[in-house]
Structure 1
């Protein structure tokens, strides 16, 4: 009988149907085995149950030809042929008693998972599968999809069959489980806690104590994960495997061999699985597998060499050949006491040397280079195959350059140009990190100069009738590498990078502001709405009505304390605000009000960014409650009150003599205090923070931005810019108005003091030259 006849009427239970191999296998079963019943274990995710996830999967490109064949209502008709069981490898419902065949495709496929997660998924998963199979009362044939790389760090020819090792899987699994608790306990030791806190303070102190605590705990969790990842890699290599992935897959095989009992067992070991040769269509692939990141990095000119032996065999096999072999193996039930082993590979009968792979990649990208936006085609390098030592030296040099550039950027004043530099640097740093990760992952693979032998798999293929050999071909000699690589695989994996782009970049369509009376729109002032700083705002009032001698004295006094203000800004923004506002001591509030009405108020309004005014008005038109939340003193921002529904600002106390005391009436709202205020304020006015907006420009605004559903970073400093990019927040550039008015008119003798103040204030605020104290000087030294 042919494969279709042998599987007709059988009930097949599948795991991993949403994965790469599982999806291709499901497509083949639904397309070519109409009399085979499929039961699929699908994990609910993202609010969707398993059946909904399956229907969504049936709409994917892999099933396009099948949908067209079925016709109207194809998705529902196909879904009706699959019985979906909600569950996962950690908790699997008992298998139905009439299941004839189990194809286990699910598992942890990352090369470097934390050791406990790798064992829980790959070994705990097969334990749970065996339990569920026995609990159901049936005796299904178990087909376990493993990997050829379970052979580990060996050289020479690797035959099919039971692996030769004496590692106790149960002991290793128990130790992996204890590793998690050990890492958690170690991460809480005082020396580690102190370091996490110190590092968090260095980056986030301006945002407040809660932000520091949050970051310190994130660092602790990341330290735990890194330690468990290292534990998996190191334990694997000590025992003779390349990484945690191959280690746990090998022990999963041994677990099955020791525990399957009277259930027939087949183990299928594919090598490196890549895009389809023919089914569901040539070049079909989902996600990036083992080789794609390296191929694309080379095509982008970012991969100068690779630490591999040019004459080593790299074993690649198309996914549809793997699926065909799984189906043939599933139809061939072995005796319960004699598990069957099949290696699905190309290296023994259709070898591809690493040098030949490089030559194909190089030729393809020379003839079909990737485009670099605005700069023409990308040139690709020649690989010298200089060896692991030379490749490592290049990589370390790149890491040193990245470290130095990162330190320099941290001390450059903010500007749009600096943010562009930061983006370029982050991309460079990401590329270096990418090369480091893949060099570390693949180093062990390149050392293992081995050839997988597929005698049993060839015998399985030879045992098929001619029709099945044509329809379910898994003979690796059936294709040549030039055709597969250059005409099928490379075009498929580079297609996403070749999609046409608008040369002018994405169109700006404005911000979407849906009408919502429950939404807030919260705006920071300095650096967001206006191009000013706390110090400059102070100067507007103190210097605008002073005689030249008074201005000189005030500037000299300010220059003397700027270093202290700089230290305060880096440690406690609230302290900076208190220090600056203490300089108002003895000022007459009525006189300040006059200056605001006659001079400073006009300056403030004319320095509000046009984009900011448009955005505030847009929010008001959408019915949002607009709030100005600032550390500036209330009398200074009084001219902005008509723009907002509410203004929340600092207040100074007035003494018995009617003059300002220089003391605040309450703590300034900075850092974490802004988030706490918004939470309370939203409850008081009945606002919904999840649908609200907030606008800020600096690291100290991060808690406020985190508190809302729509955070927007406006002309951000580097710390906020990077956080916004990492979290997918909106980043906008709101330019200042050309020729905007300045507050003070310096004499020639005062210019040196202004210059000193400009330099110190730029360092203090992280702002560019257009937003510091020196912004009060026109190009001609006169007023504007």
Structure 2
């Protein structure tokens, strides 16, 4: 593996980033523009009907974020001019052929100039409609590959997947590809074309029955979970992402392809500044609910590994991998996580949350500090369901509903308790595999990349991605949880 200066590589390069409004995509864009202003061009593919809609999304969902404050300060009055010179907004949709590009001149320009494609477009909802998730996470890869093959100058394609395509893996989970048609549980018959037919047939049946949009939505959600579990995956998201990887392996031919599989992505560790985050993401949902005093119980194994990795480390791994694999036809998989080299467990999160919000309590809308206490922990499903049933009986007797482990999902609603319990049970089924996860993600390939970076002239102070440097106490108490309060709880 031959590397060199990442800054030198990025100079005068043209990069296409899909899923440009996503969390990682924004951090990737900011990093490139800040450290290498001599990048030639960055095409940003945004899901939008036209240029006006794309521009609106760009200003509201990307450049208007506090994430770009350092870059704005650095460039001053030249900021707007710089962006207009370096960025081209591309309205499109990866679930369509040619990525939905309707401007033929722009399309040819991208074909002729693009050096690097980073695919970050995805639907990350665990409980999404199957037709939507299949279109984006699986067939979006087919369209990305077809598009990449038309890019005459392309040096490398990076596809960002997820470490959890492994399903409910145990032990050391290797950086190995998913073979086309192979299930996780040994069930035969997994065929991506059949999955498309299953979706079409079900939609046609529902339309003939005159189903409402809400009924169609629920049926398609249930269909995704059913198909995922049939072949051994716990939810629609990771199932469709795994099938996307299968298509990538089948269709890549002579392309140089990198698959980056991050674990649970958290707020920035250092750059552009510590603690930036956006939206209630994964474990942050627990932090938000706990800080607001609404997380009174927790279902999970306190000794289970939480594989967290700061977002800027993921972005740095992507950039170094680009340099390592440019012009070398291959398919390489990188796990980017912490479970092997700097493991973190749920009891750590419990301790960090209690320590932070005890000293710096959240102030509610009435101006009163929220007092937190240690949560009640259920280590198995049976005890949790018994607890929920008892709460249900108490409610029937007129007692006030106590908050449940995932009650943040119900804020501002007036659902009856029975409906709430149904929702909790569904969420528990979706998240249970991660609350009791028994695997650790091997990162042998990623470690080889780190070694090559140190030996090959990479600016490792700028492009750091070794989790060993993380002090979890310091990170959560002084960076991540303050970031959650500042950027999510606000």
TM-score norm. by structure 2 comes to: 0.85
Aligned to 1:299: 291
Aligned to 2:182: 166
The separation in 2 between residues aligned to 1:404 and 1:255, in whole angstroms, is 54
Aligned to 2:358: 366
Contact conserved, 1:362 with 1:380, CA < 8 A, in 2? yes
Contact conserved, 2:156 with 2:257, CA < 8 A, in 1? yes
Contact conserved, 2:148 with 2:157, CA < 8 A, in 1? no
For residue 463 of structure 1, give the secondary structure of its aligned residue in structure 2: helix
Aligned to 2:237: 245
The separation in 2 between residues aligned to 1:158 and 1:29, in whole angstroms, is 31
Equivalent position to 1:42, from 32, 40, 46:
46
The separation in 1 between residues aligned to 2:398 and 2:220, in whole angstroms, is 30
- 2:134 is the counterpart of 1:119: yes
- Listed as ranges, the matches of 1:233-272 within 5 Å are 233-272=225-264
- 2:9 is the counterpart of 1:9: no
The separation in 1 between residues aligned to 2:68 and 2:121, in whole angstroms, is 20
Aligned to 1:227: 219
The alpha carbon displacement at 1:171 in A equals 2.5
Aligned to 1:154: 169
The separation in 1 between residues aligned to 2:158 and 2:489, in whole angstroms, is 39
The alpha carbon displacement at 1:132 in A equals 1.9
The separation in 1 between residues aligned to 2:116 and 2:487, in whole angstroms, is 38
Aligned to 2:372: 379
Aligned to 1:209: none
Equivalent position to 1:31, from 30, 34, 37:
34
Render the CA deviation track for 1:384-424: whole Å, top value 9, x for unaligned: 34422212222344456668879xxxxxxxxxxxxxxx978
Render the CA deviation track for 1:319-375: whole Å, top value 9, x for unaligned: 000000000011111676531111100110000011222121122222222234546
Number of equivalences: 456
The separation in 2 between residues aligned to 1:494 and 1:113, in whole angstroms, is 28
Render the CA deviation track for 1:668-716: whole Å, top value 9, x for unaligned: xxxxxxxxxxxxxxxxxxxxxxxxxxxxxxxxxxxxxxxxxxxxxxxxx
The separation in 1 between residues aligned to 2:83 and 2:487, in whole angstroms, is 29
Contact conserved, 2:392 with 2:417, CA < 8 A, in 1? no
Runs (5+) with no aligned partner, structure 1:
194-216, 407-421, 500-784
TM-score norm. by structure 1 comes to: 0.54
Contact conserved, 1:15 with 1:42, CA < 8 A, in 2? yes
Equivalent position to 2:451, from 444, 462, 484:
462
For residue 97 of structure 1, give the secondary structure of its aligned residue in structure 2: helix
For residue 471 of structure 1, give the secondary structure of its aligned residue in structure 2: coil
Render the CA deviation track for 1:260-284: whole Å, top value 9, x for unaligned: 1111111000000111111122111
Equivalent position to 1:133, from 132, 142, 148:
148
For residue 377 of structure 2, give the secondary structure of its aligned residue in structure 1: coil
The separation in 2 between residues aligned to 1:291 and 1:183, in whole angstroms, is 34
The separation in 1 between residues aligned to 2:63 and 2:74, in whole angstroms, is 13
Distance change in 2, residues 1:429/1:64 (3 Å): farther
- Listed as ranges, the matches of 1:258-407 within 5 Å are 258-333=250-325, 338-374=330-366, 376-398=369-391
The separation in 2 between residues aligned to 1:371 and 1:426, in whole angstroms, is 26
Aligned to 1:21: 24
Contact conserved, 1:55 with 1:75, CA < 8 A, in 2? no
Distance change in 2, residues 1:351/1:153 (3 Å): same
The separation in 1 between residues aligned to 2:301 and 2:412, in whole angstroms, is 35
Distance change in 2, residues 1:247/1:425 (3 Å): closer
The separation in 2 between residues aligned to 1:24 and 1:376, in whole angstroms, is 33
Instruction: Supply the RMSD in Å over aligned alpha carbons.
Output: 3.0
The separation in 1 between residues aligned to 2:361 and 2:227, in whole angstroms, is 41
The separation in 2 between residues aligned to 1:263 and 1:49, in whole angstroms, is 32
- Listed as ranges, the matches of 1:645-724 within 5 Å are none
The separation in 2 between residues aligned to 1:42 and 1:59, in whole angstroms, is 15
Render the CA deviation track for 1:80-125: whole Å, top value 9, x for unaligned: 2112222111332344223111110111111111111111111111
Contact conserved, 2:171 with 2:438, CA < 8 A, in 1? yes
- 2:101 is the counterpart of 1:85: no
The alpha carbon displacement at 1:34 in A equals 2.2
The separation in 2 between residues aligned to 1:425 and 1:11, in whole angstroms, is 51
Asked which structure has the greater CA Rg, the reply is 1
Contact conserved, 1:372 with 1:378, CA < 8 A, in 2? no
